[in-house]
Structure 1
Amino acid sequence: MMVSPKAVIGICAGVSATLFLGYCIYFDVQRHKDPDFKKKLRQRRRAKKQTCHKRPHTVFPDMKDHEAVQQFFLQEIQLGEELLAAGDLESGVDHLGNAVAVCGQPNDLLQVLQQTLQPQVFHLLIQRLPSVAPRLMKAQPAPNSSSLQEEDVE
């Protein structure tokens, strides 16, 4: 009786998958048996939480100063691209989100970014955009009543 090559390949794939799964389970059990596992896990989570809170806040330019906004936009795009190339997705996406927030035509920029970025990075950017707008609004000075009255008179 002759066994077909497809059957041999299927059996090899099944055995390989079973061995890999067993390997993963074995090392997961060994990791959990380590007496310092929970302590190390807590330390890593604390360190990550602290680095998230220590992230410097972006200083947005005055939106009325077109030249400052344009310079800020180019700076944020460049910094975002550099950080993404270096592998720092979190910071890179934050800077690209800042650029989208100050962009005059955000839909066009998002289309370009969708074509150039990896899909998971672009989805991360889309998820971060709602948190950028409130930071931008906080950074802008509140309009005083005298400037509103002057505009109303004209």
Structure 2
Amino acid sequence: MTMVSRTALGIAAGIFGTLFVGYCVYFDRQRRKDPRFKEKLRERRERRKKPRGSRDQTTFPDIRNHEAVQTFFLQEVQLGEELLSQGDIEGGVEHLSNAVAVCGQPTQLLQVLQQTLPTNAFHLLVQRLPAVTQRFSSNASEMGGGNMVEDDVE
């Protein structure tokens, strides 16, 4: 009797599995046949990218507030590493370049990043660095932090 119930249970599980896979295939085909499927897919991908698209809106801290600069630096390094580990090289490089721009010793940081980052990510970082440094410098001068002490600059 247990043999019959095990067999019946196996058959029922097989039928249920087949029905479930058939259900998934049917609705996937229906979804893909929708005339607006590709358009919806593009819109969804654009919406996912939007928060990353606001990278140019980075608000740099006041250069005179050492604690805010240090917090910003650590936050940007952490975000950059996180995005790089997720495969978003451009987003990670953007945050790391922000960190290099506010870093007190950018040469040492770049040496460490050169050793730890993949080659393509490091080259992208070096390419973006002048633009980010320019944005940081213009932001610092707007905030009145344009007169830095000579020892602060390397």
Report the TM-score when normalising by structure 1. Answer: 0.58
**Match of residue 84 from structure 1:** 84
1:106 equivalent in alignment to 2:106: yes
- Tell me by how many angstroms 1:135 deviates: 1.0
- Once the two structures are superposed, residues 24-56 of structure 1 have per-residue CA deviations (whole angstroms, 9 ceiling, x without a partner) of xxxxxxxxxxxxxxxx9xx8xxx6xx9699424
5+ unaligned residues in a row in structure 1: which ranges? 1-39, 148-154
Equivalent-residue separation in structure 2 for 1:53 and 1:101 (angstroms) = 19
Contact 2:77 2:99 in 1 (8 A): yes
Shift of 1:133: 1.3
Note the C-alpha offset of 1:74: 0.2
Matches of 2:53 and 2:128, distance apart in 1: 18
CA distance in 1 between counterparts of 2:50 and 2:127 reads 20
CA distance in 2, matches of 1:82, 1:54: 17
Q: Would you say 1:143 and 2:144 are equivalent positions?
A: yes
Measured in 1, the distance between the counterparts of 2:91 and 2:127 equals: 14
Aligned-residue offset at 1:97: 0.2
CA offsets, 1:93-145, max 9 Å, x none? 0000000000000000000001101111111100110110121123223539x
* Structure 2 spans left out of the alignment, 5+ residues: 1-38, 148-154
Paired letter, 2:87: G
What is the letter of the counterpart of residue 121 of structure 2? Answer: V
Q: Of the two structures, which has the highest relative contact order with CA contacts closer than 8 Å and spacing of 6 or more?
A: 2
Summarize the alignment of residues 53-64 of structure 1 with structure 2, pairs less than 5 Å apart: 54-56=53-55, 57-64=57-64
When residues 119 and 94 of structure 1 are mapped into structure 2, their CA distance, relative to the original with a 3 A threshold, is same
Q: Distance in 2 between matches of 1:77 and 1:52?
A: 18
User: What do you get for the CA RMSD once the two structures are aligned?
Assistant: 2.8
Distance change in 2, residues 1:104/1:55 (3 Å): same
Number of aligned residues: 102
Q: Equivalent residue of 1:121, what SS?
A: helix
Residue 55 of structure 1 aligns with an amino acid whose one-letter code is S
